[in-house]
Each structure stands twice: as structure tokens, then as C-alpha cells.
Amino acid sequence: MIRARRARIVATLGPASRDPARVRELATAGADVFRINFSHGSQADHARTIRAVRQAEAAVGRPLGVLADLQGPKIRLGEFADGVARIKPGQDFRLDMSRTPGDAARVGVPHPEVFAALRTGAHVLLDDGKVRLRVVGHGADFAETVVEAGDQLSDHKGLNLPNLSIPIPALTEKDREDLAFALNEGVDWVALSFVQRASDMAELRSLVKGRANVLAKIEKPAALEALDEILDLCQAIMVARGDLGVELAPEEVPVFQKKLVRAARLRGLPVIVATQMLESMTHSPTPTRAEASDVAGAVYEGADALMLSAETAAGDYPLEAVTMMDRIITRVEQDPRWPELMRAEYPVEDADADALVAAARRASESSSTACIVAFTTTGQTALRLARERPLQPTLALTPNLDTARRLALAWGVEPRVVPEPTDPEHLTEAALEQAVKTGLGPPGQRVLILAGLPIGSPGAANILRLAHTPRR
């Protein structure tokens, strides 16, 4: 089952979509990777959802990825005596460590790390920015603030500190338990929320130990300042525009989105653009025109994947949302200007392997080339090809099912599991056979084969072959 597009779709599963029959429908409609949000649901729910994805994978006949999205250290207010408090701009409002229920004058914040990070004049954003406070005084366990905007607060709303790094562990005890569970269930990707520094990713990698690929969610301004170091330690990133949009001015978000997509592409790391892509489809069978343009913009930027959140997890039209995203991506990639944009950002070749991959991309531009077939053990050869954004499809052949599932996130890559070739001739035969079988190599067409010798040894690709599929 081949999709006629290069950018991939990540669909979040939840109460509206985790039934096995619905997961199969979403995969058939074009979802490539399924996200499980560990902020909601039980581990038993998640185990059933993962089994549903594996059943759908068998039904559609192509590898599907599973992304476990850890909740992370979400900072929240305590409770109010009446469940809600009315406040007014200009009034004083106190944050403290007391467990006493709050009122219109104060509320508890059970996170000492917040007070350690505060500075006089800093802003505190509550409830996704609906309430804005300015700090006028602070200590180890309190902060005196002035209300600048907003008129209502309620129990357990989120708290953000724009432009401040909060000295809080990236992995909570809940995250550690969920991570152990997810790895035991065989997920393919693990996403870490609220990454602020490279050490956050280093800690995650030390726990994962290669049993899954790791992904950094960029949703804190502090992460933007340490971006290069974070990219050194992750295998993909997500532009998580929800919390990022709370802590950055609205006009800054699209600028940083482009910066993040560009940075990931230059490194050959898959990049997901996420949050509110087709938000109105949570309760509407069609998106707004602005949402369609937002999705299209991410495709024109060359993002590897676009993500649906509430639209598929809890919405009324999960199947329609995936179908619509598939339609928008496919239409953009048919635009005559789209290839020009992909060619305009070819990365600089910085290694012998990159030079060979770049040569494969250039050779694939011939009209007689049907596809590129990359043999890969770890997935690195296929990812190097995806970095080049070849306009012909890439068929990634691997003996490793885990590798194939992880490659479901990569731009333009069609992963398939095949037995490991025994020699170079067998390698060529397997490449042509799979090209024909998948429909990517019609009879009599040229196929480019990229592989490494000796066969089966992880390492850089070092041979590029030209072959032709048999004529009927």
C-alpha cells in the first residue's frame, strides 16, 4: 500500500479512535505513525491501543510506527476553595507553597522550582496564557504579582514562565514508569515533553538504551537557545506549537517553526510539525481555509511529518481529518513549484557517505529512474536519502522490523522488511523484485540501488548500482 505523497501523517489515538477497526481505517486512509499521549488514559488502555496498531499494520501490509509521548513535568496550580476565582487586572495576586485552597487573592503552586526560577519583572502565564501576571517580589516559597490580563482562574490550570529555564527534572516518576511500560510494549519512538537542555535528552537516552528512537519536543524557549546541543542527542524533533505558542509572541511562532524545520533538515533528522493543524475538524467535517493553508505551509517547508492531536484522539471526525490531511499534502506535492522548493535547500555534503547519497539523488532526477532502493540495517542510509529530499520515492529494505517501523516517520521513505541478501547479485535481485512488487518500479524502468558492503554490517553506504526492472 503506497501513498502518493512524501510528507507523513502522525495521528494521535484516543477514545475516539483506538478501537481496532478505527485504527485500521486511519491506517488505510494514510496515517503512517500513531501517537499515544501518556498524559491521558491508563497503561491498560495504551497496551490495547498498541495491539490495535500492530493488527492494523498486518492488515494494510506496511510498517506503522508507534510514538509514545511522555507527559513530562507539567506545572499546575493548586485548588481554589470554590473551584474558581474571579480576579481583575491591576489587582495584587500571590503565589505560594501553601496547600490551603486559593481565592481571589492567592493560590498555591506546589513546585519550589518555579520560585527558584523567578525574577522581578518576569511574567507568569496561567491557563495557556489566558491570565498574565507580572512578578513584583519573590522569595524561596512565594511570589507577589500584579494581574495584567485575565479575569478567571480555576483548579489545576497550567503555569508557564516565558524566557526562564525552570530547574525541574525532565522525567517525572510517572514518566519513568510510563517509559518502562512503553519500551516493554515495543514502541518505536519515545517523545520527551518540555525539553529545556541537552542533559534532558541525555537522561532519556540513557534509560532507553537503543530500544526505541528518541524525539525531542521543542515547546520551551530555553530549548531554542540550546538547540544545537539538543539536536546532537535526539533522532527527531517535534515543533510543539501549543506550549511554544504560549511562551512566545504569536508572531514569533511561525519564524521559529521555519528555523526548527530547517535545522532538523540540515542534520537529516525527521521533524514533525504539530498542534492545531486541523483543529476545527475536532467538531467539524471540514477544516477552515486557514488551517488548510497552515498544513500546506509545513509541506512547502519540507517537514517530514504533520501531526493530528485532538482531531483524531477525541474528535467527532477522526477519519475525515486523516483523509483531509492526506488530500492537502498530496495536492501541495503536485504543485509545479514544490520540487523547486525542495531543490532549493539541498544540504551541503560533509562526508563520503553523503556524497554518494547526493549522487544517488542527482541520478534519480533522470526521467527514466523509477525509484531509489536503499538497503539499510539501522535506517541511516534511508535517512540520509530523506535528508536530500529526492523527488523519486525511496524504497528502504531492511531485515529489521524495528528499523522499518521507525522509518515510517521519514520523508518519502517506503520501508519494507526483507531477508538479508547473501551477496551483491542477490541484493540486486531483491531490490528489483521489491520495486516491482510495491509498484514503485514498473517494467523496464531504471532503479538506483544504494547499499553498503560487506552486506549486513551496519555502516555507511558505499556502492551505488543501476539496474532495470524486467520487461514483461
Which residues are annotated as catalytic? 35, 76, 217, 275
User: In this structure, which amino acid lies at residue 173?
Assistant: E
Q: What is the DSSP letter of 110?
A: -
Residue 361's nearest CA partner among 373, 377, 350, 372 is: 372
| 90 in Cβ contact with 147 (< 8 Å) | yes
| 322 in Cβ contact with 29 (< 8 Å) | yes
What are the φ/ψ torsions at residue 203 (nearest 5 degrees)?
Answer: -65, -45
Q: What is the DSSP letter of 80?
A: B
Cα gap 216→224, rounded to integer Å: 12
Q: How far is CA 55 from the centre of its chain?
A: 22
Around Cβ 182, how many Cβ atoms within 10 Å? 28
Q: How far is CA 297 from CA 254, 266, 341, in A?
A: 10, 18, 12
User: Buried (b) or exposed (e) across 250-277, using 16+ Cβ within 10 A?
Assistant: eeebeebbeebbebbbebbbbbbbbbbb
Sheet strands (E) in 335-421: 369-375, 394-398, 413-417
Q: Which residues neighbour 422 within 8 Å (Cβ) at sequence distance 6 or greater?
A: 455
Q: How far is CA 69 from the centre of its chain?
A: 9
| 281 in Cβ contact with 320 (< 8 Å) | yes
Helices (H) and strands (E) in the chain, counts: 17, 21
| 229 in Cβ contact with 199 (< 8 Å) | no
Give, for 332, the enclosing helix (H) or strand (E). Answer: helix 318-332
Conformation bin of residue 261: beta by default, left when phi > 0, alpha when psi is -120 to 50 = alpha
Q: Which residues neighbour 443 within 8 Å (Cβ) at sequence distance 6 or greater?
A: 436, 469, 470, 471, 472
- Alpha helix stretches (DSSP H) within 92-172: 112-117
Query: Cell digits for 274?
Result: 504539530
| 463 in Cβ contact with 452 (< 8 Å) | yes
Which residues pair with residue 262 across a beta bridge? none
Query: Cell digits for 432?
Result: 528489483
